[in-house]
Chains A and B, each alone.
Chain A
Amino acid sequence: MSRTGRLEVLLAALLRNGSWLASAAIGLGFTLALIDSRFGTQNLAIVPNMRIATIGIVLFILLPSLRVLLMLLVFIREGDFRLAVTAGLVLAMILLGIALGIRATSGLAG
């Protein structure tokens, strides 16, 4: 198998398993929340099981960053430093986006 072929197999496994895990967490969280509310019209947003669903959402948000991190590590290992730097820049951009969100939140709090 070629070097790039190996990377594709690794990426497919990460994205497939990560998506299943995140979807399962969201599905489980909402199912438990629905059972808790006994199919009535209670406020789902305050049911504690929604935390499991929130973990699933956070997993989905983190999954693309993990994918870029995996690419960074594989490119470094293969000695493909141009693409490794590129992957590093993409990761930096994602982190910058989060930092801007935190700054906006602290701005609102202040």
Chain B
Amino acid sequence: MDTGFTLWLFAVSVAASALGGMLGMASGIFIVPILTMFGHIEIHTAIGASIVSVIACSCGGAAPYLGKRLTNVRLAIVLEIATTMGAVTGVLLVGIVPVRYLYFLFAVVLFLSAQQMLARRRDPVLASVPAGAGHWSAAFQLDSSYPDRELGREVSYRVQRLPLGMMLMYGAGLISALLGIGSGVLKIPAMDTAMRLPIKVSSATSNFMIGVTAAASAGAYFMRGNIVTAVAGPVAFGSVLGAIVGARILMIVSNERLRLLFVIILVALGIQMLLTVFGIQFSKGSL
């Protein structure tokens, strides 16, 4: 591992994290395909590096959301039971699932993410009348409110269909552990469609939870030797810097153009991952 490659890893991670950060998506979804297909890094080492960067971005970005009272910490800790259980299941499957299937699963997640990016998210709280409190939600006192600066008032919300949300979160934890990503692809339907949380609360709480979900599998990846400092170090450091850069760029670039760019990149990476499954490669990565 030479200096040039280390700097390449760093630069790629800054770019991927900045791009992801601009649209509220973790950088893992770009990092793993780039490291495997262009950096020719073994997929488990790429996933190990990505999982550290996911933790770094989650922890590094959590404070502002907590300060603005957007994060529902009570809901987060309840949902984390499901995500960490999913992650532990993923840890059990890591050595069993063939590498070819990991590439295929990654391609599916990339296509689904592109499709979600094209479909606009509607704010469930603003779009509907709040329903009655659910049994579990009341037991754990999960309903809350947040100050909405755009609306200029405090917005109250109820947490609905918690069991369904937890089932989807289990799946999110499983995918996170298997692929080293934040699993926004399952967290968005869990938060928006199942539990009907306001988008701002959903994004903040999801970001807060990603670190703990990733930590449940990161320990196992570290013990197995899949977290290689020479790879994970520049990737994590670059991702933290990229997230800061992404948040700044977000304020000056058109969201619509970004959304289209994002979809094109996701589909291109998905096609490349799918071609790799069938043994067709533009670059000389190895399965």
Q: Which A residues fall within an 8 A CB radius of B?
A: 4-5, 7-9, 11-13, 15-16, 18-19, 22-23, 26-27, 29-30, 34, 37, 39-45, 50, 53-54, 56-58, 60-65, 67-68, 71, 82-83, 86-87, 89-90, 93-98, 100-102, 104-105, 108
Beta-carbon contact of A30 and B73 below 8 Å: no
Q: Given A30-B237, A40-B3, answer yes or no on A12-B63 (Cβ-Cβ < 8 Å).
A: yes
Q: Which residues B200-237 have CB closer than 8 A to chain A?
A: 211-212, 214-225, 227-230, 232-234, 236-237
Q: Is the CB of A93 within 8 A of B85?
A: yes
- Chain A: CB-nearest residue to B231: A45
Q: Residues of A contacting B219 with CB < 8 Å? A: 61, 94-95, 97-98, 101
Contact between B1 and A43, CB atoms less than 8 A apart: yes
Indicate the size class of the contact surface on chain B: 35 or more
- The one of B55, B81, B233 in contact with A64, judged by C-beta atoms closer than 8 angstroms, is B55
A6-B71 Cα distance, complex, nearest whole Å? 13
Interface stretch, picked from B27-35, B87-95, B186-194, is B87-95
B230 contacts across to A, CB distance below 8 A: 44-45, 50
Contact in complex: A71, B63 (CB < 8 Å): no
Query: Which residue from B1, B217, B234, B236 sits with its C-beta under 8 Å from A60?
Result: B236
Residues of A within 8 Å of B60, CB to CB, are 15-16, 19, 23
Q: Is the CB of B71 within 8 A of A8?
A: yes
A96-B232 CB under 8 A given contacts A12-B66, A68-B77, A86-B78: no
Q: Are B77 and A60 in contact (CB under 8 A)?
A: no
Contact of A82 among B55, B58, B59, B140 (CB under 8 A): B140
The yes or no answer to B62 lying at the interface (CB within 8 A) is yes
Q: Contact check, A97 vs B224: say whether CB atoms are below 8 A apart.
A: no
Residues of A within 8 A of B77 (CB): 68, 71, 83, 86-87, 90
